[in-house]
Structure 1
């Protein structure tokens, strides 16, 4: 095998000189500064906010402008330039024709070229070339690598290119293309630490941005695995994500985006359910004004039908998977239809307008023939959607339960723990699993389910539902999900969900050290990047925990969480000098940003004291490059060149 590998390598590098050239190239790359990483989590379909963060490099574009232009430009000039880079189409279209003079175009393009060169300083020419738009690649490279101050002929050459761009009326398109390059140079790699989906209907816009991104990885969140499970055949997962869409008012949007056949569901709900106040859709800026009274009523009825079918399907999973230890959550069996009450954990509660006629008394978890037809129709249209298939393929290729990258540990939810601080053992698949082994177990079964998506109700697919709602799921992290109680029981005490001890223990440095050690990391150098739980800034909660070893970066990007958090999300930057935490204020409409009071909506705070600058050789990519270097050295030693 080793000989075959070297034979293949020799085919690529067929002379000693070609090996030396590549060795020099790789060793030079190793000594460049590491690129800037951006960590985001809990997008929840907030496509406008997500795109704004990418366009601004999470505030990093503005910081680079400050570093480059400093006191030579006024604050207004720097803000205007920053806005142009992030929203070139909007800025250019808002300008009067009389403002876009030859001189304005010349200066703007020159400034953008200079700034692009500054942002590209840590990259090789080869990597920069890949980032440039093909249409203007040659021109941009010529402008970047021409110093007009070095010689009159070079100045004339530079001036000629710019003049020709402007006279051919290509300047505006050129500016837009060049502005698109800068955020890519400012952020070298994106980590999405879970929960792309649910809460609003912009998830496919987010997914398109991710699928087009030059360098990204994803750590699955509970909402992501909810969708993955539905794609892989979990009917309970599918009904749950559709119920959430009805609850937040974007079900019609899902129907349109993915071509779902919702007609049988609509007809059934309209015929069998009356309005119920607990099922009124929660409106947001994305959905307000979309509905009239008639279709809002229908959405209420559909919401109820989805909930009841979901509870039946969940009950079926609990029945066939006793190892999930969730019999207390088989709630439809606990209903006394005659007395219109339910017994939960030994306490009797009144039910608020529960649709008793929709369940069988002897077998409440059984679907009616109509419900079975609806579920089968929904699953078929969901799995056959081309867009859904693209999502599945991308999430499996780029995603994982956790990731170790540049000696940092990334995961979305939690590592289930005992109150004592020990990892909680979870009995699944006939094994007691905990810590890293538990996350590996879930990932293996998610991939197993993906490989056999035509099979339903198997253990792997059911485990994707457990990942969503199971009491010891590393993605959920609560003892129960009280959706049923919130709909049908007015006593708010029944709505409470107890968090896993992990969520208070993670504030302790000893816990962080224990987790990092479990994943083979140096607890003196490494950090944990965690999402899932909105940081309640208004209540004084801090996103930096365990003496700076744990970052919780779910600050509530989606509007649904902002009343709780008071901000529009956190992101985290890691450049060659260390970590910066970014707090995002609520994103104003772009039209407002273009007004007189232009301002940056991202506030940064340094976490690390200035450290020794990290180079590519200190990173995960650097380890891979070092392996290539060693292979080339071995090729020189073992291979015979004529």
Structure 2
């Protein structure tokens, strides 16, 4: 026990004594906490860039990235046929749906129930072996805690195991509770497989159902999120930012993803559709045709209607961007107010120091004297769209979750997690940002970004602080020194209206040229600078990024800078599969070290349930710990040691008589 810290309040010990009213109670807790410190470190999983691919994400979440199947194989062993093990693993992933499929196929349902329950108990006991009984009990679904606890921790010195289990399981089956009990056991197994899940950004984008993913994460027992630029775009829209509302809709229409808006969040696009049909009905909108998936069932008429909406919202967006840029000169984005840089006589635009001819010159709502001004019809459409976003309770719930569980970056167990980049200059120094009369760089800039992002949602409605934060959420989406964007510009205007590859190029921040440099010395120096900035230990720490897909099929490796930087964007999104050659990564940090699981494409949940199809994953163990890692080596261990220290001070206060024990 260390010396009593300066300023240690007597009232704190008095408060602590309410939970531990006697020396015996306090010392018992000290013993319990010391026992926890000696347990193996629980397993963490890291994923990024899910991009709304709800079915694939849901399967990886349910299967713990293949970990559960490995445990099933280990517990059941080769004596159980592979087909039967696959079927059993699928039951754990999707118990309700798999039960409905399997029960009608059984000649003796009671016997099948008992065999299944025996196997679930065996798997659950195996997976709970490295946790305390208290921890496992807290992860148990309500309703069956007592009986599950008894089955997992029963001792058989005084009675026969099979007979004891048999009586309990027969009672469960005979009372009609077998299905509910199986579902509870499967839930517990899934919860024990992964102690904590880290999502390193971009839940949203082109995939159809990010809303379903967020429901799954809200239900997860332990998760955190490091925001990506697609996430902050939606956060800004939910906060009431007009430019973010327009930006979210533009992105959704560009990928023909109306499902997220309309089905996921109940946002009606009818006002935009009516306006677009009236305004752009007789124009060429071919450059605004959405990037539809090969399995798209929309008719050509539907796609052209979407294209007209796409152009309508894009023009509204570019007008709103001009206004945001004018309000915020510190953003340094005056060159991105491109509507104001159009010469409507020659139909050319000034961009990146050059004048480019426009390939689309139809701007029926643009006032040439004031290009950034919305027409009355556009104002009406935008107001109705913003109202629809504001009234979406589900979107509000999801975004509040992102604020509660998320941030720009996170340090945990020696690792630094962030989605994009820590902006750098060409010489390798951290980029200096001037904002509101202050100067920021490195970690200070990341902290300022998070402060302003929170301000945009939580500052009083209608206040200048709220408007400033809303504008900044848009900057985080596409600003040149945004840590979640990491590029010099978002070239949407150029792609629509210029089309030249040189104009459309989005230059990466120098951060990437340093940390991904093939020269190990250059990469190592940059990463060491990041370690020093964020207070990481070089021997044990890592930086974990997403945002930039790893082109594995071209031989690119996700582990960079001598193993100190790990990029885990493996192309979850179907559109990236052909580029990356895989369908996503899961980084696993267990008590034995670090491994990376690369996943193959996922067919569908229906086929997974009906045919026991699993995602094929390849495991690469790239860092093995010199010795097993224990709870005492983790951040949680530091917290528990602090609790032990507090309790030791309480015991000392009892012994001195400063605080009286309660009878």
The correspondence of residues 91-106 of structure 1 with structure 2, limited to 5 A, is 91-95=98-102, 96-99=104-107, 101-106=109-114
Query: Quick check: 1:129 aligned with 2:137?
Result: yes
Greater mean alpha carbon deviation, residues 180-189 or residues 372-381: 372-381
Q: CA deviation at 1:151?
A: 4.9
Measure, in 2, the Cα distance between the counterparts of 1:346 and 1:152.
85
The correspondence of residues 469-548 of structure 1 with structure 2, limited to 5 A, is 469-507=478-516, 508-548=523-563
Secondary structure class of the residue paired with 2:647: helix
* Alignment counterpart, residue 558 of structure 1, candidates 539, 549, 573: 573
Q: CA deviation at 1:50?
A: 1.0
Aligned partner of 1:641 in structure 2 is 660
* Alignment counterpart, residue 148 of structure 2, candidates 124, 140, 145: 140
Contact 1:218 1:400 in 2 (8 A): yes
Contact 2:585 2:596 in 1 (8 A): yes
Aligned partner of 1:383 in structure 2 is 390
Secondary structure class of the residue paired with 1:58: helix
Once the two structures are superposed, what CA deviation does each residue of 1:300-342 show, in whole Å capped at 9, x if it has no partner? 1111111000001111111222211112111111212222222
Measure, in 2, the Cα distance between the counterparts of 1:318 and 1:535.
33
Aligned partner of 2:519 in structure 1 is none
Secondary structure class of the residue paired with 1:348: strand
* Alignment counterpart, residue 228 of structure 1, candidates 229, 235, 246: 235
Once the two structures are superposed, what CA deviation does each residue of 1:1-58 show, in whole Å capped at 9, x if it has no partner? 7122111111221111111111111111111111100101111111111111111101
* Alignment counterpart, residue 468 of structure 1, candidates 437, 459, 477: 477
Query: Quick check: 1:328 aligned with 2:335?
Result: yes
Aligned partner of 2:93 in structure 1 is 86
Unaligned 5+ segments in structure 1 are none
Aligned partner of 2:44 in structure 1 is 37
Secondary structure class of the residue paired with 1:607: strand
The verdict on how the C-alpha distance between 1:569 and 1:122 changes in structure 2, with shifts beyond 3 A counting, is same
The verdict on how the C-alpha distance between 1:413 and 1:52 changes in structure 2, with shifts beyond 3 A counting, is same
Measure, in 1, the Cα distance between the counterparts of 2:425 and 2:41.
38
Measure, in 2, the Cα distance between the counterparts of 1:504 and 1:348.
29
Greater mean alpha carbon deviation, residues 454-463 or residues 486-495: 454-463
Measure, in 1, the Cα distance between the counterparts of 2:58 and 2:352.
45
Measure, in 2, the Cα distance between the counterparts of 1:321 and 1:12.
52
Aligned partner of 1:120 in structure 2 is 128
The verdict on how the C-alpha distance between 1:212 and 1:594 changes in structure 2, with shifts beyond 3 A counting, is closer
Unaligned 5+ segments in structure 2 are 1-7, 517-522
Aligned partner of 2:71 in structure 1 is 64
Secondary structure class of the residue paired with 1:44: coil
* Alignment counterpart, residue 305 of structure 1, candidates 305, 308, 312: 312
Contact 1:147 1:155 in 2 (8 A): no
Measure, in 2, the Cα distance between the counterparts of 1:555 and 1:273.
39
Contact 1:233 1:455 in 2 (8 A): no
Q: CA deviation at 1:609?
A: 2.5
Once the two structures are superposed, what CA deviation does each residue of 1:229-274 show, in whole Å capped at 9, x if it has no partner? 2222321111101111111122254134323243322221110013
Measure, in 2, the Cα distance between the counterparts of 1:193 and 1:600.
21
Aligned partner of 2:451 in structure 1 is 444
TM-score normalised over the length of structure 1: 0.95
Query: Quick check: 1:606 aligned with 2:621?
Result: yes
**Aligned Cα RMSD in Å?**
2.0
Query: Quick check: 1:239 aligned with 2:239?
Result: no
Contact 2:599 2:615 in 1 (8 A): no
